[in-house]
Amino acid sequence: MVGRHLRVYLKNWHTSFLPPVLEPITLLLAFGLGLGAYMSSGIEWNGRHIGYINFVAPGMLAYATFMTAIFQSLFGAFIRMRYQRTWEGQLTTQIELRHVVWGEILWAGLLTTSYVAIVGLVLSGCQMLGVLQLELEYLPVIIPIVFVSACAFAALGLCFTALVPTIDHMNLPIFLVVLPLGFVSATYFPLGHPVLAAISTANPLYHLAEGLRGLLLGDHAGYHLASLAGLVMLGVLVPLDMRLLRKRVLGD
- DSSP string for residues in 89-131: HHHTTT--HHHHHHHHHHHHHHHHHHHHHHHHHHHHHHHHTTS
| Distance in angstroms (rounded) separating the CA atoms of residues 226 and 143 | 12
> b/e per residue, 4-14, with b = 16+ CB within 10 A?
ebeeeeeeeee
Q: 208 and 226 in contact (C-beta within 8 Å)?
A: yes
**pLDDT tens digits for 108-143?**
999 999 989 988 888 888 888 888 888 889 889 899
Could you say which DSSP state residue 135 is in?
A: -
Q: How far apart are CA 138 and CA 157, in angstroms?
A: 28
Q: pLDDT digits over 140-198, tens only?
A: 989 999 999 999 999 999 999 999 999 999 999 999 999 999 888 888 888 877 888 88
Rounded Cα distance between 248 and 122, Å, is: 41
